[in-house]
Structures are given as C-alpha cells and as structure tokens.
Structure 1
Amino acid sequence: MKVIICGAGQVGWQIARHLANEKNDVTVVDNNAELVRRAMDTLDVQGVAGFASYPDILDQAGARDADMIIAATHSDEVNMVTCQVAHSVFAIPRKIARLRAQSYLTAIYSDLYRRDHLPIDVVISPEREVAEAALQRLAAPSAFDTESFMDGKAQLLGIQLDDDCPVVNTPLRQLTDLFSTLRTIVVGVRRDGRLFAPAPGDQLFPGDQVYVFSHVEDVDRTMEIFGKIVKKQERVVIIGGGNVGLAVARELESRVNRIRAKVIEKSRPQAEIAADALERTIVLNGDGMDMALLTEANIDRADAVLLVTDDDKTNMLAAVRAKAAGCPMAICLVNDPTLVPLMGPLGIDAYINPRATTVSSILRHIRHGRVRGVYSIGDAEAEVIEAQVLSTSPIAGRMIRDIEFPEGVLVGAVRKGNKVIRPEAQTRIEEGDVIALFSLSADVPEVERLLQVSIDFF
C-alpha cells in the first residue's frame, strides 16, 4: 500500500514508523526539512520537504498512484485543503484528517466532509479521543492504562504491582487454576523497562507493570486480586478547562450517577467559556499550582485530580502538589514520552498519552479489512488488535494450542456471538468470532497474516 503522511511531528512519525515496519511504501511530507530528514534517517520512508497542501509537493510525494493520504499537520486548515487537493487533483481513494477545532467537529456541520464538499473519509479529533481516554482512566482509577474492546464488553488494564500484591511470586498457570471463573488473562509484562508476552510458567514480581485483558463484569474483582482497592469516584477536580477538560466535565455532567466535578482554568477568557458551557460544574479561574486555590476546590476531599493543561510540566508539578494536599489519585496528560519514567518517582498514578491515543485511532482506520480496533501500548512497543476471523484465515477452525502464534503474541479474549469468553488452549476459533490479540510490534505483520486482513478501500 502506498501512503502519504503529511506532518512529521510526533503523531505523523509514529504512524510512519508503524506502516513502514509493515513494509508499506510510505512518504512523509513536512515543511520542516529537519523533521523530514529525521524521519528518513530513522525510518524506512521517503521524504519531501514542503507545504502538504501544495499540489506540486503532493505530486513529488507520489500522489498520482497513492492509496491513502493522512493529513496530520499542526494546522486544521492545511489538513482540510490537503485532503481536497488529494481528492480533486490526484483522486487518492482514502483521506484521513486530524482536526482539532471544535467548530469543525460539531455534528450539525458534518455534511461539510461529503465527497462533493470537503472530501474527508475519516476525521480524527485528538481532543475527543483524549477526553474519552481520561473518562476511561477515571472509570478504572487504579489502572495506569486502560482501553475498551469488544463493544465495551472487555477491557485492557495496565496495573502496577506493589509489594503487597496478593499474586506476586505465583506462576500464571497457577493463577488460572486458583481463579477458574475469572474471565481475565495476563497478556503483557513490563519488567526493568522491557515489555514481553509472559509464558504460563512465568511469575509476577513487585514493580512489574502488567497488562491484563478482562471481561468488563470482572474488572473490579481483577483489580482486587491484583491488590488494588476499587473505590467509586464521586468528586473530581479537573485542572485545565480547555477542549479536553471541558469535554470531560460535560460528559461527567450528563451521566446518570453524576460525578461532581470542579474545573480550574488559568486563562480568564477560557474559564468564562467553560463556565458558560457547563451547567452544574463549578469553574474556578486561577493557577492549578496555587495551593490556596486547590484548598478552595476542596482537593483534600476529591477522589481524583485530572490534569489536562497543554503543558506537561505544569500537569506533573500540579499533580505532585495536589497529592501533597491530600488527593489520593492523580491522572496526568503527558505528551512527551520521555517524561513517563518520572511518573513513579513523583507519585503520579496514571497518565494519558495523547500521541498514543491519536495514533491508535488512526491505525484503527488504516487497518481497514476486518480489524475492528487497534490500541498502541507504550512507545509503540506493542499493539492490541481486535479483529473478526475470516473463513480464509489460517486460524479459522483450529484450537488456540494448535495455532503457530509468534512468541510475542497472546490471545486476550474471544467473542462468540454476544458472549465474551476467556481463551483457553482448547478454545476453537471459528469463522465470525471476534478475537483480541496482544502483539509485540515486531510480530504485528505475522498477526495480520494469520488474520488475513485485506486492506480494501473500495
């Protein structure tokens, strides 16, 4: 597949990395020649320096025979015009654009993206994706990472194991026997900075970060088994009243079992916008690092603080201050992945990586065929892929124990009809089943071969 990626920033670079690793023909376009050079030096891609919306630049990038264009520059307008040029001049079949401004995303204006207007096939909104990720973190507050699968019936949970975790030093095979009715399986372990798919005889140790796949009804029990207290979230303080914070507060307001939220926003104009948009949420104008303001927001009585300003360091420092003031749980928005190792020493409980969230969302639309969901783990170290099993797939009609999965791949869940089951060695995978697989990045091409996912855009 020939793909043009416009924008060589963090998101564009990650998408290029994924697609290049899978032997696609990838060309990166950016008006910053240094970013293009970095992509060409570190990835197996071609590069063109110039404005992505210019027809001659797209022509140089090979737009005449491209299968797809992904417009992920920093400018919404450049992304929109790029898709228009790609359609009108080069007839590129599939066009994906990242748009941030909420006005472009309002449902009543969705006709804007029809083929005879602005021809964009898929619109990705980082703010909406991040707001959804934040709500998922609040729903499973003791997990540092979480994502839903199987239409919300299964969940991936990232859990940090403490010294008092009841199941440390126990072989995973034994855990399966001990909790035979628990629809949960450990699919990944990060130990000493290395992520791997564990074998049945492997043990878990304090300090491990484990990724577990669980039926949604068993999430609370799973968290308890791994030594995490499940506490209902009733009061949340949101620091940052921009698009993300506002989207989270709006959603919390609309829920039946309403979570009481307070928003702290430094910019007075933005605080006024948030106050006008929210009905029952208190909005405070001021610095989220100000201890007096945190006290006014009753941070010591809050169940969690969610830090979603556009500055990573502000989020992290405000999280430390909120924890020092008595808030038991801090969830941070962090764009720079190199800051993530500081989370543990600073006592920050969970983080949201907008880049990983946006990358996962774009990948979900790229892997078109029968792939229903893709979630990128860590710094593109692994993926969880949810896909429907085709009749032509090599795994159809075979038991899991007879399928030659690579060493870095584990089955997390299987859905047969409306029922999600825990996979076992003797589970037979049938045509039409939906399967969720944890795969280290190096093994993703082999997983796609086993699933025989056809990338079909027509």
Structure 2
Amino acid sequence: MKVIICGAGQVGWQIARHLAGEKNDVTVVDTNAELVRRATETLDVQGVVGFASHPDVLASAGARDADMIIAATHSDEVNMVCCQIAQAAFNVTRKIARIRDQSYLETGYSDLYTLDRLAIDVIISPEREVAEAALQRLAAPATFDTEVFMGGRAQLLGIQLTEDCPVLNTPLRQLNDLFPTLRAIVVGLRRGDRLFAPDPDDQLLAEDQIYVFTHSEDVNRCLEVFGKKNQKQERIVIIGGGNVGLTVAQALEARSGRMRAKIIEKSRSIAERAADSLQRTIVLNGDGMDMDLLAEAAVDRADAVLAVTDDDKTNILVSVRAKQAGCPLAIALVNDPTLAPLMAPLDIDAYINPRATTVSSILRHIRHGRVRGVYSIGDAEAELIEAQVLSTSPISGKLIRDIDFPEGVLVGAVMRGDKVMKPTAEMRVEASDVIALFAMAKDVPEVERLLQVSIDFF
C-alpha cells in the first residue's frame, strides 16, 4: 500500500513508523527539513520537504498513485486542503484528516465532509479521543491504562503490581486453577523497560506492569485478584477548562447519578466559555498550582483530580500537589513520552498520552478489512487488535493450540455472537468469530496475514 503522511511531528512519525514497519510504501511530507531528515534516517520511508497542501508537493510525494493520504499537520485548514487536493487533483481513494478545532466538528456541520464538499473520509479529533481516554481512566481508577473492546463487552486493563498483590510469584498457568471462572488473560507484561507477551510459566513480580484482557462483567473481580479496588468516582476536580476538560465535564454532566465536577481554569475567557457551556459544574478562574484555589475546590475531599492543561509540567505538578493534599487518585495529561517514567515515583496514578490515543484512532481506520479495533500500547511497542475471522483465514476452523502464532502474540478473548469467551488451547476458532489478539509490533504483519486482512476502501 502506498501512503502519504502529511506532517512529520509526533503523530505523523509514529504512524510512519507503524506503516513502514509493515513494509508499506510510505512518504512523509513536512515544511520542516529537520523533521523530514529524522524520519528518512530512522525509518524506511521517503521524505519530501514542502507545504503538504501544495499540489506540486503532493505530486512529488507520489499522490498520483497513492492509496491513502493521512493529513496530520498542526493546522486543521492545511489538513482539510490536503485531503481536498488529494481528491480533486489525484483521486486518492482514502483520506484521513486530524481536526482539532471543535467548531469544525459540531454536528450541524457534519455534512461538510462529503465527496462533493470537503473530501475527507475519516476525521480524527485528538481532543475528543483524549477526553474519551480520560473518562475511561476515571471509570477504572485502579488502572494506569484501559480500553474497551468487543462492543463494550471486554476491556484491556493496565495494572501496576505492588507488594500487596496476592498472586505475586505465582506462575500464570496457575491463575486458571486458582480462579477457573474468571474470564481474564494476562496478555502483556512490562518488567523494567521491556514489554513482552508472557509464557504460562512466567511469574508476576512487584513493580511489574501487566495488561489484562477481561470480560467487562469481571473487571472488578479481576482488579481484586491483582490487589486493586475499583471505587466509584463521584467528585472530580478538573484542572484545565479547554477542549479536553470541557468535553470531560459535559460527559460527566450527561451521566446519571451523584457525580459532581469542578473546573479550575487559568484563562478568564476560557473559564467563561466553560461556565456558559455547563449546567451543574462549578468553574473557578485561577491557577491550578495555587494551593488556596485547590483548597477552595475541595481537592482534599475529591475522589479524583484530572490535570488536562496544555502544559505537561503543570499537569504533573498539580497532580503531585493534589495527592499531597489528600486526593486519592491523580490522572495527568502528558504529551512528552520521556516523562512517563516519572509517574510512578511521583505517585501519579495514571497518565494519558495524546499521541498514543491519536495513533490508535488512526490505526483503527487504516486497517479496515475485518479489523474492528486497534489499540497502540506503550510507545508503539505492541497492539491489541480486534478482528473478525474470515472463512478463508488460515486460523478459521483450527484449535487455538494448533494456530502458528508468532511468539509475541497471545489471544485475549473470542466472541461468538454476543458471548465473550476466555480462550483455551482446546477452543476452536470459527468463521465470523471476533478475536482479540495482543501482538508485539514486529509481529503485527504476520497477525494480519493470519487474519487475511486486506485494506477495504469505502
């Protein structure tokens, strides 16, 4: 597949890394020659320096025979024009644009994005993706990462193990004997800097980070098995009233129950906009770093603080101060992945990486075929892939034990009809089953071959 990626920033670079690693023909376009040079030197991609919205630049990038264009520059307008020119001048089949400004995304203007207007097939909104990730973290506060699969019937949970975990030093194969009715599988394990798919004989150690794929009905029990408790979040303090904070507050207001939120926003104009858009949420204008303001927001009695300003250091420091003030749960928005190792030492419970959420969203739309969902794990080290099994697939009709999966691949669950089942070696995979697979990045091409997934263009 021939793909043009407009924008060589963090998101563009990660998408290029994914696609180039899967032997696609990838060209990266950016006005910044240094970013293009970095991409071409570290990845198996071609590079073009120039404005991605200029027809001659797209032509130089190979738009005449490209299968897909992904517009992920920092400008919404440039991304829109890229897609429009890709359609009008080069008839590129599939066009994906990252759009950040919420005014472009209001439902009243959804008919703008049609073939005869703004020719964009898929719109990715980082703010909405991040807000959804924040809501998922709040729903599972004992986890550092979570994502929903199989139509909400299954979840991937990232769990940090501590000394009080009751199943430390227990081989994973014994968990099935200890908890035979628990529909959960440990599919990924991070020990130190290494992420891998564990063997049945691997034991769990304190400080390990594990990824568990579980039936949604078993989430609370699964957390208890690994020494965690899932408590209801009813009082939330949100630091930052921009697009992300506002979207989260609106979603919380829409939920029934006793959930109450407060927003602290430094900019007066943004605070006023948030106050006008919300009904029950209290909006305070001031610096989230101010301990007096945190006290006024009653952060010591809050169930969680969510720091989602546009500054990583502010989010981290506010989270630390909130924990010191007595808030039991702190979640921080962190753009810089090199800051992630600081989260545990600083006692920050979970963090959200906007780049990872955006990359996951784009991958979900790139791999159409029978792939229903893709979630990027860590620094694009692995993926959780949800796909429907085709009758022509090499795995259709086979027992799981007989399928020649690569070493870095584990089956998380199989859904047949509406029933989500815990996989066993004796389970037979049937056509039309939906299967969830944890795969290390290097094994993704082989997984797609086994699933016989082709790119479908709609």
Alignment map for 1:9-408 (pairs within 5 Å): 9-408=9-408
Does the 8 Å CA contact 1:252/1:258 hold for their aligned counterparts?
no
The separation in 2 between residues aligned to 1:63 and 1:150, in whole angstroms, is 35
1:386 and 1:437 in contact (8 A); partners too: yes
1:258, CA displacement in angstroms? 4.2
How far apart, in 2, do the equivalents of 1:259 and 1:223 lie?
23
Asked if the contact 1:7/1:29 (under 8 Å) is kept, the reply is yes
CA RMSD of aligned residues (A): 0.6
TM-score scaled by structure 1?
1.00
Normalising by the residue count of structure 2, what TM-score does the alignment of the two structures yield?
1.00
Give the match's secondary structure for 1:398: coil
What SS class does the counterpart of residue 229 from structure 1 fall into?
Answer: coil
Q: Deviations over 1:393-450 (max 9, x none)?
A: 0000001001011110000011000000111111110000000000000100010010
Aligned partner of 1:387: which letter?
Answer: A
Q: Deviations over 1:79-123 (max 9, x none)?
A: 001101000000001000000000100111001001000010000
Alpha-carbon distance in 2 for matches of 1:407, 1:296? 53
- For residues 448 and 258 of structure 1, the distance between their equivalents in structure 2, rounded to whole angstroms, comes to 45
Distance in 2, matches of 1:71 and 1:162, equals: 42
Give the Cα separation in 2 of the matches to 1:337 and 1:240.
20
Letter in 2 for 1:204: L
Distance (Å, rounded) in 2 between the aligned partners of 1:85 and 1:183: 49
* Pairs aligned (count): 458
CA distance in 1 between counterparts of 2:241 and 2:177 reads: 47
How far is 1:192 from its partner? 1.4
Give 1:456 shift: 2.0
Q: Which runs of 4+ in 1 moved over 2 A?
A: none
Tell me the CA shift for residue 256 of structure 1: 1.2
Partner of 1:446: 446
3-state SS in 2 of match to 1:386:
strand
Contact kept? 1:307, 1:331, Cα under 8 Å: yes
Distance 2:64 2:311 in 1: 40
Q: Which amino acid aligns with 1:391?
A: S
- The offset of 1:31, in angstroms, is 0.5
Looking at structure 1, the residues matched to 107 and 451 of structure 2 have their Cα atoms a distance apart, in angstroms, of 35
Runs of 5+ in structure 2 lacking a partner? none
Return the offset for 1:222.
Answer: 0.5
Distance in 1 of aligned mates of 2:165 and 2:353: 26
Match of 1:420 in 2: 420
Gaps of 5+ in 1: none
The 1-side partners of 2:137 and 2:258 are apart by: 16
Give per-residue Cα distances to partners, 1:30-60, cap 9 Å, x unaligned.
Answer: 0011100000000000000000000000000
Q: Tell me, what secondary structure is at the counterpart of 2:27?
A: strand
Q: What SS does the corresponding residue of 2:375 show, helix, strand or coil?
A: strand
Give the whole-Å Cα distance in 1 for the aligned partners of 2:192 and 2:35: 31
